[in-house]
Amino acid sequence: MVLILSFDFEEIDKVFISHFHADHSCDAFSLIFSRNCNYTPYKKKLKKVLMMGPKNTEKNFKTWRKIFWPEPHESYPVDFREGVGEVRLGSIKVETFLIKHLPWLQSLGIIVKFGGKKLVYTGDLGSDNKLEDLVEKCQGADLLVIEASVAKPQSNHFTLQQVKELAEKALAKKVLIVHIPSPVIKITEDFCRKEPKFILAHDGLRVEI
């Protein structure tokens, strides 16, 4: 399995949204609009998109459409799957699970299993999550994709130390750290230089597992 942090958007037909903060969701809706612009006028076969996300994903898409894509006669085929569940996509098994991020929105993590490999993405998460629950979900992950965006523990975001503790307890083989605001870039870079299984994400990165 290869995770690539850059891709041809026309290849994408499955999208996962962890929660409805702009940094985790806006591009997903724009993807559908770009598809419409690229495909419809040229009579290309429309590739249906599966959009998985927390509750209200479809409702939020419809609200977004009213503002950014108001043409009532246009449409693009999208299937929505909301909340916690399991789905098989060919040979890929996908499971979503609840994550505590903020009390006023539902947040999900995702486990992707393919070819004997396991990838876990937590989305944004904080100290309100029980460590043992996270350890269970992340257990034996070949790749754990996780945020470490704060310097001190908070209810809605994780620190590097918390990521390290979780990765050690869950025996994660590789950890890709994403979602790094500028005040913590330097400490994250220094940390990843010393700890070979931790990788700092950047555009265009390929991670093979």
Q: Toward Zn ion, which CB reaches closer, 118 or 157?
A: 157
**Cα 93 to Cα 118: distance, rounded to the nearest angstrom:** 9
Min dist. Cβ of residue 110 to Zn ion (A): 15
Side-chain half-sphere CA neighbours of 4 within 13 A: 7
Residue 23 touches Zn ion, criterion: CB under 5 A: yes
Residue 100 touches Zn ion, criterion: CB under 5 A: no
Based on its alpha-carbon atoms, the radius of gyration of the chain, rounded to whole angstroms, reads 18
Site string (139-158) toward Zn ion, x via CB under 5 A: --------------------
**Cα 153 to Cα 45: distance, rounded to the nearest angstrom:** 48
Q: Which range in 60-68, 122-130, 158-166, 194-202 contacts Zn ion by CB under 5 A?
A: 122-130
Q: Are strands 92-102 and 105-114 parallel, antiparallel or unpaired?
A: antiparallel
Min dist. Cβ of residue 102 to Zn ion (A): 7
Min dist. Cβ of residue 171 to Zn ion (A): 26
Total of residues contacting Zn ion (CB under 5 A): 3
φ/ψ region of 159 (left if φ > 0, alpha if ψ in -120 to 50, else beta) reads beta
Q: Considering only residues 21, 93, 113, 164, which one is a binding residue for Zn ion as defined by CB under 5 A?
A: 21
Q: Toward Zn ion, which CB reaches closer, 124 or 142?
A: 124
Q: Considering only residues 60, 124, 125, 166, which one is a binding residue for Zn ion as defined by CB under 5 A?
A: 124
Closest CA to 98 of 81, 122, 127: 122
Min dist. Cβ of residue 200 to Zn ion (A): 16
Q: Toward Zn ion, which CB reaches closer, 35 or 200?
A: 200
Closest CA to 129 of 94, 176, 95, 165: 165
Min dist. Cβ of residue 90 to Zn ion (A): 30
Min dist. Cβ of residue 155 to Zn ion (A): 12
Q: Is 3 exposed, middle or buried (0-12, 13-18, 19+ CB in 10 A)?
A: middle
Q: Which range in 5-13, 118-126, 169-177, 190-198 contacts Zn ion by CB under 5 A?
A: 118-126
Residue 53 touches Zn ion, criterion: CB under 5 A: no
- β-strand partners of 93: 88, 113
**Cα 164 to Cα 202: distance, rounded to the nearest angstrom:** 19
Footprint on this chain of Zn ion (rule: CB under 5 A): 21, 23, 124
